[in-house]
Amino acid sequence: MARSFPGYFSKAPARGRKRFRSPCRVITSSGKTVTLQFYMLKGNTDRTPTASSELALLLAGMGSRTITLPQSADHFEISRLLTSQHPKLATSSGGWLLYKALGGSGQRKLSVIPPETEGYNGHFLKTVTGGVKNTIYIVPLQDELDTSPLPPDANEFQKMPKASCRVCGSCMPLQVLAAHVKSCVEHPSSGDDFDLHGGSSPEVTIVAESIPPESTPGTSNTMRPNLAACPVCLIEYPLDYLQVHASSCGDSVEETPSRMQDASKSTEDEIENLDDVIQAIADAVTTDGKTFDITVSRQNMLGLVQWQRQKKASPTNQLKVIFLGDAGIDTGALRKEFLTGMVAGIEERFFEKGTHGRRPNYSLSDLDKGHFRTVGEIMAASLAQGGPAPNVLMPWCYKFLCTGSLDLGHLDKSDVGDDQYTDLLSKVEAATDTTIQVLTEEILNCGYTGLISLEKKGEIIRLMQTSSYLCAKQNSVREAQTRNRWR
């Protein structure tokens, strides 16, 4: 063989140019990536979240996240990336699956994305999402995740852009800030920090001042707040309200020295009873020739959409009502009939019965659609234009509409709208050193994180009252309050 093939068996050094050895082929993973939209849900469901529940999921650290993952990523790598973006997923020990939504709009039905033999991988997810066009929903199978709002400095919000609230100075993500500014009721530390007229709510204008009630012979003077005189109108107000009043006092008209001197006297002389209050509200109705026209049917009177769509006039104008199929001209009787039916329908539709009156329904859908704002406008129009008064509200709801703040120190069990909380409050009030420890788990579920003992009973009761169903309705009342004021 050596003689026949000398070139293969010759040990002589190779002649000519020396060739480089070809390098060993190293198998590397593909560098291609895919960017997908993941949406974390709170529990096992077959429907996409509603628009009203998306904000609650966002505040709880869930909701939508955009994640970039390698196409070669396996199930373990995908799980690690999802957990890094949704830390609450790590607390779920009952497993999870990925779902996708069917076509259409609004709340849609979810269909499961079946995993392959070795679980999910990047290339498979890119294929089933139709070229990164669909959102992938993460659905816990056996756990119901907590949806209580997280603090602004939580890990879930670290990568989100943030801004500070002008009222309380808290720094929080922009998505959270949008909801926070609607409920923040703390007063600014100085008049330069926050402008009530040019701030975050341009539609809200302070058009009437609520005068603190004078003490009666049966009222203890020790319960009255500290009073101070306004430097503009010289009327005494509580110290915690004086700054709000002073920021708007004298803005609407040019004050003269004689006008300021007579301000306190005229207020005491004119506002003596409820009839004077109603007359003052009626005088505030704009009479510039424009009318707020409403055309409705007597069979379907409770419709808020037409009221909300009015652009040429505002509810401060004279209300003019036309009933379909009725040739009558509104000289006041039709307006009163319309307002009577609207107020009665509002009480049944948007307020639920309580022990001492009605409280607003807990409906995020109505809140998002601005229905409670419209309810406030209708209530104010009814008071100002001869309609009935909404005299069915609970005391805390009425005080909140008048003052704009919730008096947490005077809440009791009757103000709590949840029977579960009411029963728990009764148990805590009657608890002893031994029985209060039995209620530890239920108290912790209410959000209390302090020491549970008999000495802390008052603190526990106050927190349970403020974190109960009452505070969930506070935004609804505030939305009604923004339109329940008249210039």
Please give the full DSSP string across 100-169, using - where no structure is assigned. Answer: EEPSSSSS-BEEE---BTTB--HHHHHHHTTTTTSEEEEEESS-----SPPPTTSGGGTTS-EEE-TTT-
Q: Indicate the pLDDT class of residue 16, thresholds 50, 70 and 90.
A: low
Q: Please give the pLDDT value at position 260.
A: 41
**Helix H or strand E segment including 202:** none
Q: Please give the pLDDT value at position 121.
A: 87
Distance of alpha carbon 374 from alpha carbon 380, whole angstroms: 10
Q: Please give the pLDDT value at position 413.
A: 58
Span 408-414, average pLDDT: 59
SS3 241: helix
Residue pair 458/349 in contact by the 8 Å Cβ criterion: no
Percent of the chain with pLDDT over 90: 0
Q: Please give the pLDDT value at position 318.
A: 83
Distance of alpha carbon 252 from alpha carbon 210, whole angstroms: 16
Asked if pLDDT for residue 10 goes beyond 80, the answer is: no
Distance of alpha carbon 479 from alpha carbon 98, whole angstroms: 37
List, for residues 51-108, the tens digit of each pLDDT value.
778 878 887 888 888 888 888 888 888 888 888 888 888 888 778 889 988 776 678 8
Query: Looking at domain 283-406, does it have CATH number 3.90.1750.10?
Result: yes
Residue pair 404/485 in contact by the 8 Å Cβ criterion: no
End-to-end CA distance of the chain: 114
- Which residues neighbour 163 within 8 Å (Cβ) at sequence distance 6 or greater? 171, 172, 174, 177
- What DSSP letter does each residue of 288-345 carry, written as one string? EEEEEEEEEBTTB----HHHHT--SS-TTEEEEEEETT-----SSHHHHHHHHHHHHH
Distance of alpha carbon 28 from alpha carbon 58, whole angstroms: 39
Distance of alpha carbon 115 from alpha carbon 369, whole angstroms: 39
Q: Please give the pLDDT value at position 265.
A: 46
Most confident range, picked from 38-42, 279-283, 312-316, 470-474: 38-42
Same fold yes or no, 33-140 and 283-406: no
List, for residues 353-386, the tens digit of each pLDDT value.
776 777 777 677 777 878 888 888 888 888 888 8
Q: Indicate the pLDDT class of residue 457, thresholds 50, 70 and 90.
A: confident
* Centroid of chain to Cα 201: 15
- Taking the model in full, what pTM does it have? 0.37
Q: Please give the pLDDT value at position 304.
A: 73
Q: Please give the pLDDT value at position 485.
A: 47
Locate the domains of the chain by residue range. Answer: 33-140, 283-406, 419-467
Of 161-170, 387-396, 463-472, which range is least confident? 463-472
Q: Please give the pLDDT value at position 441.
A: 79
Give the angle subtended at the CA of 264 by the CAs of 482 and 405, to the nearest 5°. 30
Q: Please give the pLDDT value at position 24.
A: 53
Residue with tokens 């009203």: 52
Q: Please give the pLDDT value at position 436.
A: 79
List, for residues 175-227, the tens digit of each pLDDT value.
777 777 776 754 443 333 333 333 444 444 444 444 444 444 444 444 444 67
Strand 33-40 relative to strand 63-70, pairing: antiparallel
Number of H helices, E strands in the chain: 20, 13
Strand ranges for 41-109 from DSSP E: 63-70, 96-101
Fold of the domain built from segment(s) 33-140: Ubiquitin-like (UB roll) (3.10.20)
Residue pair 262/269 in contact by the 8 Å Cβ criterion: no
List, for residues 162-173, the tens digit of each pLDDT value.
888 887 777 877
Asked if pLDDT for residue 125 goes beyond 60, the answer is: yes
* Residues written for the chain: 487
Q: Please give the pLDDT value at position 18.
A: 58
Distance of alpha carbon 18 from alpha carbon 94, whole angstroms: 64
Asked if pLDDT for residue 426 goes beyond 60, the answer is: yes
Q: Please give the pLDDT value at position 339.
A: 85
Span 313-335, average pLDDT: 78
Mean pLDDT over all residues of the chain?
Answer: 71
Distance of alpha carbon 175 from alpha carbon 302, whole angstroms: 33
Closest Cα partner for 376 from 292, 316, 286? 316
